[in-house]
Structure 1
């Protein structure tokens, strides 16, 4: 497979195959500046400090490469949208072949996403984007297609209501908004890139959506694990100007079947025994909660090491929404 050959080349470049691979645990992420990369960096740092793990963060170009790297044993862990993991295991959506070696380790946190604009634009809601430009294409980050489809739906719009401007991936999309090439950009709340753009353009704001039951049905037609969550303003949440609802999914930690039970249990021990330190280092991770971390998801299996960890901690599995 062509993607696999590229991943093998990346694996050799990062020195994570052979003997080195046995000594180092890696977390595959999108590029630097993304929320997942930042989260993984904090988790890896804590795992090195308090868990004695040799853990590194390994950036890739997008979700498909991240999932492929774990499935093929080139990375041990990854952070991803539960919806994308479901489609990866199924071999549906953006995945043309099933990736059967992915296992859930834990639910990490809810992940609100949105479209944001320059504050000077005067736009305040997704509905205001009618006739305006929205990033599209996403050849290197195809997961964004379904996310933006859901956000537009929650604002009462479809793709035909906006002007599509092709962008390759997440960071470039925000850069193009900052430069004026496109009117809006897509990102997660709390993303470092949003703060960077905010400082460079004199302020940004996320656009509001309508969290009605009708719109909930619309976004769940796009991906069944989407839901709405309420987000309040806070210093790390750049662009959130007032309490507002966001299209949201669950972030989950994923491991490959090649990862030992011991590695999984060690990382989970760090996550939940050092949750306060991790949350202080990156506020979105304050949502780490042992009691809600063992959640069932359709079509996904938990890693045996995770099952053993939660059983030892007396945590029962909660059903899927």
Structure 2
């Protein structure tokens, strides 16, 4: 009888372990609702659940530093971030000075992400240089990545924080609300962000300011972060504030993952994202820029998760 029970108990144990593994809930840390990253995170969670059977939920945090700390500590498994911010987090410099977030890895280069300073359509502000003496969003205590982003865009017009009126804001959403209410002349957002459309409707129109995309401007922004570049953004229905081809400061959106997340989970999520582009576009049009043919780059100072590397190598997409 004991000989018969042992295999049965073993089989039941394996079944329970498998069930528990499949029921494991993984989370994507994101900024608050209304941001591009929150919208993208919800799209990825949806595809992860429906296409890869990964139980993913989106957990909002106050901003990028809180998100990176959550992933580094294992409180969340994934997060979308500007690769520049992930690099300085791993190195323990800039806004992360004093502690290296050594458990962060890249799972996937998702897409280029143009950003821009935007103003009211009737503001009379048409260039970065026109911001001199204007009320510009600053501080960014809850969203510290806002400081280097704004600093870099101001630098393309030869401006520094000393050239503008610094109006402290905690984060992107509050800054956009302050522009809408008239407390600010300028703030910034990711192009295509839902919040930009909301402000546009409330004030009768907004516009993004172009950056100078010459070598001098590039040299200036690379002194601030190592992986900025410029790209041209063309008008599209979901890109509020872009009415003509416009040069924008750009970074790469990357999916960051804790290094302890299993290779299989990372492999399956990367596979689900790259092989279901159309499903993602239905959720958020910004996924039209999903880098299915160039899902990795050799970024300085940060490594890729081995589960992601396995997928890239299988598909002939590994660039390193």
Task: Settle same-fold status: TM greater than 0.5.
Answer: yes
Number of residue-to-residue matches in the alignment: 300
Instruction: Specify whether residues 160 and 21 from structure 1 end up closer, same or farther in structure 2 by C-alpha distance, changes over 3 A only.
Output: farther
Task: Tell me what 2:319 maps to.
Answer: 317
User: Displacement, 1:124?
Assistant: 1.6
Alignment gaps of 5+ in structure 2: 1-19
Q: Aligned-pair RMSD on alpha carbons? A: 1.5
| DSSP 3-state at the match of 1:40 | helix
**Post-superposition, which runs of at least 4 consecutive aligned residues in structure 1 deviate over 4 A?**
19-22
Where in structure 2 are the equivalents of 1:166-205 lying within 5 Å? 166-205=168-207
Counterparts of 2:245 and 2:156, CA distance in 1 = 16
Q: CA deviation at 1:270?
A: 0.8
- Per the TM alignment, residue 22 of structure 1 is displaced from its structure 2 partner at its CA by 7.0
Listed as ranges, the matches of 1:125-274 within 5 Å are 125-274=127-276
Q: Summarize deviations over 1:76-124 as a string: whole Å, max 9, x none.
A: 1110000100010011010131011011101011111111011111212
Distance 1:224 1:257 in 2: 23
User: For 1:71-110, what aligned pairs fall within 5 Å after superposition?
Assistant: 71-95=72-96, 96-110=98-112
Which stretches in structure 1 are left out of the alignment for 5+ residues? 1-18
Alignment counterpart, residue 306 of structure 1, candidates 305, 308, 316: 308
Residue equivalent to 1:59: 60
- State how far apart, in whole Å, the 2-side matches of 1:189 and 1:240 are: 8
2:95 counterpart SS class:
coil
Tell whether the 8 Å contact from 1:139 to 1:169 is kept in structure 2 after alignment.
yes
Please state how far the C-alpha of 1:291 moved relative to its aligned partner. 2.5
Corresponding residue SS for 1:177: helix
Aligned to 1:28: 29
> Residues 155 and 22 from structure 1, CA distance in 2 versus in 1: closer, same or farther, beyond 3 angstroms?
farther
Task: Evaluate the alpha carbon distance shift between residue 231 and residue 107 of structure 1 in structure 2; reply closer, same or farther with a 3 A threshold.
Answer: same
Instruction: State the alpha-carbon separation in 1 of the partners of residues 239 and 21 from structure 2.
Output: 38
What secondary structure, in the 3-state scheme, does the structure 2 residue paired with 1:120 have?
A: coil
Q: Deviations over 1:234-277 (max 9, x none)?
A: 11110012111001111111110121011101101111110122
State the partner residue of 2:10: none
TM-score (norm 2): 0.91
2:277 to 275, 292, 304: 275
CA distance in 2, matches of 1:203, 1:177: 12
| SS in structure 1 at match of 2:227 | coil
Quote the Cα distance in structure 2 between the aligned partners of 1:192 and 1:305. Answer: 32
Larger radius of gyration between Structure 1 and Structure 2: 2
- SS of 2:84's partner is helix
Asked whether the 8 Å contact 1:112–1:247 carries over to 2, the reply is yes
- Cα distance change of structure 1 residues 264 and 241 upon mapping to structure 2, 3 Å threshold: same
